[in-house]
Amino acid sequence: MLGKLTWSAIPFAEPLPLITSAVVLAVIGGVLAWITAKGHWGYLWREWITSVDHKRVGIMYFLLGLIMLLRGFSDALLMRTHLAMATGVNQGYLPPEHFNQIFSAHGTIMIFFVAMPLVMGLMNFVLPLQLGVRDVAFPTMNSISFWLTASGALLINVSLFIGEFARTGWLAYPPLSELQFSPGVGVDYYLWSVQISGVGTLLSAVNLVTTILKMRAPGMSYTRMPVFCWTALASNLVILAIFPILTACLAMLTLDRYLGFHFFTTDGGGSAMMFVNLIWMWGHPEVYALALPAYGVYSEVVSTFSSKPLFGYRSMVSASMAICVLSCMVWLHHFFTMGAGADVNAFFGIATMIIAVPTGVKLFNWLFTMYGGRVRFEVPMLWTLGFMITFVTGGLTGVLLAVPPVDFIVHNSQFLVAHFHHVIISGVVFGLFAGYTYWFPKAFGFRLHDGWGKAAFWCWFFGFYLAWMPMYVIGMQGATRRMQHYNDPSWQPYEIVAACGALLILCGVLCQATQLIVSIRNRDKLRDVTGDPWDGRSLEWSTTSPPPAFNFAVLPDVRGEEAYWGVKQRAIAQLQLDEAPAYQPIELPRATPIGVITAFFVSFAGFGMVWHIWWLVAASVAAGFVALATFGWRREDEFEIPAAEVARLDQDRRAIRTGALADVAPDRQEAAHAALALEVTDPHQLGHAGADTKPGVRDNGPASKTVVAGFGFWVFLLTDIVMFSALFATYAVLANATDGGPTSKMLFSRTTVGIETVCLLFSTFTCGLAFLAAKRRNVGVTQLMLALTGVLGAAFLSIELREFASMIAQGAGPSRSAFLSAFFTLVGCHGIHVAAGLVWLVSLAAQIATRGFEPKVQRKLLCFSLFWHALDIVWVAVFTIVYLFGTSL
């Protein structure tokens, strides 16, 4: 009934997890009881849980990240204090199997459930505001993405109370993570929580890329976007490129564990090294996906608090895009020692060093932005300066590690651990805290307390150095990573210093918690009345704090670089705002519980998979499917805010801004006049002049819904193809690993595959004709062609299933050899896509039958035809590489 789940899964005998569980459950229970007692559930449900507003979703992402930071950080404290004592006869207080779980959970949580949600939260909140639009491209999908991430986070935390977590390190290398060596549920918790949140992240990236490329205010051309938008674009492109690889890689490990496949096992011809190769193809760029948005935050902060335009805008943009592509070409430096030849190691070593160049460009740009400016040392600026000082040295140790012979000496040592904490804490965490302080007033309408913020910064800054510099030293002396106990007592002083550093960081965290409480209590004193607390330069500062649901009463008309700065100068010069626009009613997406409902069922499905409770999995998946299908039939997507309400809110904003103009100092007014007359004499104040390219050619504002939907789906399809490419690569590597079993020549029939191909080709043709007929609004022909497409697709599937069945009957099933595992997974994955397409097709045909050609149905048909045609492209690769190569080579 409950699969592998029994009472023994609850750690009654281990006091540490048990007490933690009790405390956490008590805290959660207390919070829930408080909410119930205060009667806040209705508000929470309406305004937050079901919200599709990008600002609310962004804040929830950030909150999730902060809570998980507490969890990840307490793991760190446990490890540091344990290691301060665990030498010689003293075994410390964490037994090895518990210590292993802690470092695995620490890494997994910090990357997937702290850094990722914090970064996603910032991007979600800021991007639409900076681009001058009302929401992201797909608001409902945004909510689904968030709740999937939350579901993954829930699952990984459940592992603390029920069962165990992986003991394999944060990347779960096989063969250790295979069933043979890790028979418990720990690795399964890892797989499902990461997989679920990974899908959420991927959807989020599709959303944000589409937002940046297709949803910009009128006149906001690419070269006028704030640098944060550019770095977010680069980061999300990286996510699109790599998360499908992670999905494929973890799916293969899952198949190994659940169905006895042989991708990465020690027997059956599997290759554990292929896992290492694939996971780092995700793992390395992932670091840049986290760091790039942080670079964007630093750019915004440096420019604002130096009261200057950013130096070298174009080089900043080029550097971000260069990092975006280069970061995908260096993954092998994580396994120089695995046995590749000098040629391969040298290539990836040099590629790694090259990344330091665009990063260096950025650093000089930030320095030159400060040069000649009037720098205000507010808290975000402190984090930024701390970053610049710390990151340079951290980057240098990275260049050192990129030299293969050096890497052979310090591989998997504390030196490496010190390096990546060095760059991630300074490069990502400091940036997130800078962004948190910088945009907090925009999100909540009051600033964070200054003194506590400064205290937090100094604690973190010095705490970091205390905690990690000693690790470089003992790393050089041979201390390995993930060690639970060491025999060399001379390392102990270093470990004690490191533990003190961790405690100092704890003081920083406590300062931050205090800062939040103090700020909320004193919010009236810290109130950001104007909506422009830092004298900002980009569009988010032109609206109120917090912004209204629609962000901008009228979409801003962007007429130059630093969109808001120009508007502000004009207002200051004339001592009045531009004329009030004509207000129109605004349509906004409706709140919907589909995100939280989907995640609810996905959590149960994940839990069922971990514990092999198959009925729970089946019921949850079915329920989730029904929920999504019902949602797909929804008609009322939007609600309208009447023009009068928009006008009322905007007039309040204008009154406050006009009031603020009364206090403008004469020298600022003079400067504004000079800026408007293009008579700026101070070279430091010159911007990059992202002018209109040609007269008459300017961006018209957000693209139509068809273009947004089509482009978003196109981007999603490309990620799907990247996932297939990981399966293709695995197949290519394992094609000869038959383990003495049948080879491709014995198994494949060219006739069968020929018939399958013809079916698919004709179905893609009929699908095209259906699309054409739908455009001409011919219901009969559309339905006929869709029916033909379905019949041909079904024929393809049934032939494929018969082929699979006969192979399995011959004893050539997927668990026979690595080659067959790869074959069934690749071809089967295509088959599953076809099956999903058939389900979609039936639902589309039903919608056309009942509703005719509404615009929404037309958009779905466009996406479906893209999907179906793309499946054909994948099939061309399948029949060539799998079947034709397999039968003729």
Partner 1 sequence: MTDHPTHAGHTDAAPGEEQDSFLSGSAGYIIGLLLALALTATSFWAAESGALWRPGVPIGLCVLAVAQMGIHLVFFLHITTAPDSTNNVLALAFGIIIVMLVVVGSIWIMDNLNANMMPMEQVMGMQS
Out of 181, 462, 631, 762, the only residue in the binding site for partner 1 (CB under 8 A) is 762
Q: Is residue 691 part of the contact set for partner 1 (CB under 8 A)? A: no
Q: 364 by DSSP, 3-state: which?
A: helix
Least gap, CB of 297 to partner 1 (angstroms): 24
Tell me the C-alpha to C-alpha distance, in Å, between residue 597 and each of 64, 144, 362, 604. Answer: 18, 9, 43, 11
The candidate with the shortest Cα–Cα distance to 866, out of 781, 762, 771, 760, is 771
Give the x/- contact pattern for partner 1 in 344-383, rule: CB under 8 A.
x---------------------------------------
Out of 15, 696, 740, 780, the only residue in the binding site for partner 1 (CB under 8 A) is 696
Least gap, CB of 671 to partner 1 (angstroms): 33
Give the x/- contact pattern for partner 1 in 278-307, rule: CB under 8 A.
x--x--------------------------
Out of 196, 388, 646, 715, the only residue in the binding site for partner 1 (CB under 8 A) is 715
Q: Total binding residues for partner 1 by CB under 8 A?
A: 82
Buried b (16+ CB within 10 A) or exposed e, 745-756: eebbeeeebeeb
Q: Is residue 709 part of the contact set for partner 1 (CB under 8 A)? A: yes
Out of 349, 453, 690, 710, the only residue in the binding site for partner 1 (CB under 8 A) is 710
Out of 775, 779, 798, 839, the only residue in the binding site for partner 1 (CB under 8 A) is 775
Closer CB to partner 1, residue 320 or residue 544?
Answer: 320
- For residue 20, give both structure tokens: 């933690």
Out of 500, 718, 795, 857, the only residue in the binding site for partner 1 (CB under 8 A) is 718
Name the burial class of residue 79, with classes exposed (0-12), middle (13-18) and buried (19+) by CB atoms within 10 angstroms of its CB. Answer: buried
Out of 497, 768, 778, 791, the only residue in the binding site for partner 1 (CB under 8 A) is 768
Out of 732, 784, 788, 857, the only residue in the binding site for partner 1 (CB under 8 A) is 732
Run of H or E residues at 587: strand 586-589
Q: Which stretch binds partner 1 (CB under 8 A): 27-35, 85-93, 470-478, 710-718?
A: 710-718
Q: Is residue 806 part of the contact set for partner 1 (CB under 8 A)? A: no
Least gap, CB of 766 to partner 1 (angstroms): 9
Give the separation between CA 379 and CA 430, rounded to whole angstroms. Answer: 11
Write down the residue that tokens 């507490």 correspond to.
70
Buried b (16+ CB within 10 A) or exposed e, 256-291: bbeeebbbbbeebbbbbbbbbbbbbbbbbbbbbbbb
Q: Which stretch binds partner 1 (CB under 8 A): 90-98, 559-567, 828-836, 869-877?
A: 869-877
Tell me the C-alpha to C-alpha distance, in Å, between residue 747 and each of 172, 267, 721, 837. Answer: 33, 22, 26, 27
Least gap, CB of 844 to partner 1 (angstroms): 14
Q: 828 by DSSP, 3-state: which?
A: helix
Backbone angles phi, psi at 446, to 5 degrees: -145, 155
Q: Which stretch binds partner 1 (CB under 8 A): 69-77, 323-331, 393-401, 483-491?
A: 323-331
Q: Which stretch binds partner 1 (CB under 8 A): 431-439, 484-492, 656-664, 702-710?
A: 702-710
Q: Is residue 466 part of the contact set for partner 1 (CB under 8 A)? A: no
Least gap, CB of 772 to partner 1 (angstroms): 6
Full DSSP string of 686-736 = -------SBTTB---SSPPHHHHHHHHHHHHHHHHHHHHHHHHHHHHHHTT
Full DSSP string of 100-112 = HHHHHHHHHIIII
Q: Is residue 789 part of the contact set for partner 1 (CB under 8 A)? A: no
Angle between helices 414-424 and 272-305 (to 10 degrees): 40
Closer CB to partner 1, residue 361 or residue 866?
Answer: 866
Q: Is residue 601 part of the contact set for partner 1 (CB under 8 A)? A: no
Give the separation between CA 763 and CA 17, rounded to whole angstroms. Answer: 56
Give the x/- contact pattern for partner 1 in 232-271, rule: CB under 8 A.
-----x---x---x-------------------------x
Least gap, CB of 767 to partner 1 (angstroms): 8
Q: Which stretch binds partner 1 (CB under 8 A): 44-52, 136-144, 275-283, 286-294?
A: 275-283
Q: Is residue 885 part of the contact set for partner 1 (CB under 8 A)? A: yes
Give the separation between CA 792 and CA 802, rounded to whole angstroms. Answer: 15
Give the separation between CA 599 and CA 601, rounded to whole angstroms. Answer: 5
Q: 485 by DSSP, 3-state: which?
A: coil
Least gap, CB of 337 to partner 1 (angstroms): 11
Give the separation between CA 367 and CA 388, rounded to whole angstroms. Answer: 9
- For residue 712, give both structure tokens: 């978003």
Closer CB to partner 1, residue 14 or residue 872?
Answer: 872
Give the separation between CA 748 and CA 328, rounded to whole angstroms. Answer: 35
Q: Is residue 799 part of the contact set for partner 1 (CB under 8 A)? A: no
Sign of CA dihedral 696, 701, 707, 713: positive
Q: Which stretch binds partner 1 (CB under 8 A): 3-11, 51-59, 661-669, 727-735?
A: 727-735
Closer CB to partner 1, residue 161 or residue 765?
Answer: 765
Site for partner 1 in 541-580 (CB under 8 A): none
Closer CB to partner 1, residue 332 or residue 474?
Answer: 332
Q: Is residue 744 part of the contact set for partner 1 (CB under 8 A)? A: no
Q: Is residue 784 part of the contact set for partner 1 (CB under 8 A)? A: no
Least gap, CB of 260 to partner 1 (angstroms): 20
Out of 264, 444, 611, 728, the only residue in the binding site for partner 1 (CB under 8 A) is 728
Out of 329, 406, 500, 795, the only residue in the binding site for partner 1 (CB under 8 A) is 329
Q: Is residue 858 part of the contact set for partner 1 (CB under 8 A)? A: yes
Helices then strands (H, E): number in the chain?
A: 29, 2
Give the separation between CA 103 and CA 106, rounded to whole angstroms. Answer: 5
Q: Are 134 and 550 in contact (CB under 8 A)?
A: yes
Q: 264 by DSSP, 3-state: which?
A: coil
Q: Is residue 213 part of the contact set for partner 1 (CB under 8 A)? A: yes
